[in-house]
Structure 1
Amino acid sequence: MKAVVEFPVAINRHCRSLDVAVLKWAWAAGLFEDPAELERCRLQKVNWFAGYLFPEEMPKRMELIMKFFLCLFLLDDLLDIRMEPSMIEFLKNLKAGKSFHADARLQSLGSALLLLHQAIQQENAFSGAKGEWDIVWFDYLEALQWEIQIKLDGTPPALKEYRLYRPFASGAYLALQFLRKKTAGLACEAELLEYTTVRYICLSNDLASYEKELAIGDVHNEVMILREDMGDEALFRIQQEINSLRKRILLLAGQVWSQSYGCRDWIRSLLLLAGGSGAWTADTSRYKGYINGSSGSH
């Protein structure tokens, strides 16, 4: 049997110190429910997610990215708990650049997200990518609204619709946007390669979180949707596709690499992002237990 070729994996050397700083920042900003939730995030290495995805970032930018993704994880958890129409309005307000909610913690989280979003906007403005960031941010918020509405309706999502919204709701496209620096022009932004990478990340995450979400009845998982028709064969099919996607990414990356020397830094960062996503999933205990009584896939 041929050995499976894995993606490269590294972790940002500033991750450990920034983890402490970002947790302190989040506590001071009122983003945690209580000390137990802060400790849960620390033990689950939630901030290390960004460290795995962006191992080559410098401390200042790494701190911004780490804060942003911590807020996304906290929002994801709250959306699982608070399945109510007010959350749709909350997300609509975020899209409009406002944070309104009766719950003080949600209000604080929304305010923190908007401030971080503005900081990222300014950073992208220097590279001429502000419009691209805004589009991806809006797509993310709209996809979250779709997820909430599906849960409120009580109807499992159709496979086609799930595959359409899942890549945006996962935040994977937001992560990709951080890789688009001045050195990565349009020639490097191979749409098929990015789409394949996002598909790989989402499907791998669904497989990793499947047992946990099955236990709590969260139907937003492709393995669970496929099991309705395929039974246990769905697990095998998903693993097959993940292996196929991995090979496809490496093939496409090699093609882009050979065509443009200027794209090589971007390709290396993209492969590290794909490898880092899987490495963090294996390292965290986030998918091995309950989070506030609900699932916390992201």
Structure 2
Amino acid sequence: MSARENAAKVGHRTLITLFSLFAAFPFAWMLITTFKKTNDLLDPNSFPFGYPKGPTLENLRVLFEETLFVRWIGNTVFVGVIVVIITLLLAVPAGYALARLSGTFGEQLGIGIFLTYLVPPTILFIPLAKVVSTLHLQDNLWALVLTYPSFTIPFCTWLMMGFFKAIPKDIEEAAMVDGMSRLGAFTHVILPMSVAGLLTVVIFTFTLVMQEFVYGLTFINSGRNFTVSVGVPSFLVRGDVYFWGSLMGACFIASVPIAFLYNLFVDRFIAGFTVGAVKG
């Protein structure tokens, strides 16, 4: 191996190591801060990556005993699972139909649907607030189940449309020649080939539900019905007092499962975005 190849390998590994440290630092900082005493955390002379005054479980006690954190996690999972199901049921067939429309009409319609995703949520808030009020869903988790698909379905439809375009029509036509109906070819041939796109839709949708704040704060009034993205800052930021240890603990607990899912399916997730984002 030449000196140039050795230098390239060292540079490559160094770059990967630096990027990994950069990506892992927020999680490490959240974990360290979770067990820090408040006076230790606020002391500018204290070593930031250790526990000069000893670790503490007080921050986790405040999080689990003085807030409704476990209930907020349950609310978030409840809303997230239902929104994921609704998005899959509507976006996947819509994306397939648009991908198989002949001519440029399907592509233009798909772009039009995607453009609705770019409408700021603050603009959609006004008509959606009227819908929520009419249906008497104020301070109800079903208000979030109703409103969140308004911005998950357009993007996921466009994403799946691009993904289905990348699958040759000959494959489903061959299945139909063998006796399958179009629905059978879609469910037994196309969908199994689209696992990367489906996983992308699931992860994107659930992540959006986990981090959405505006609708969750507007349509939900009682603390018992908050999602984790609204409940944590609402209860752990009291005026100008920040419960940093408890905040970091909540963020770490809420973010690790999503990070684990990304890492578990990272290859298929990237494939879903790169295939679905290009013109077929």
Q: Do they superpose with TM above 0.5?
A: no
Higher relative contact order structure (alpha carbons within 8 Å, sequence separation ≥ 6): 2
Q: Which of the two has greater helix per residue? A: 2
Q: State the TM-score, normalized to the length of structure 2.
A: 0.35
Q: State the TM-score, normalized to the length of structure 1.
A: 0.33
Report which of the two structures shows the higher radius of gyration computed on alpha carbons: 2
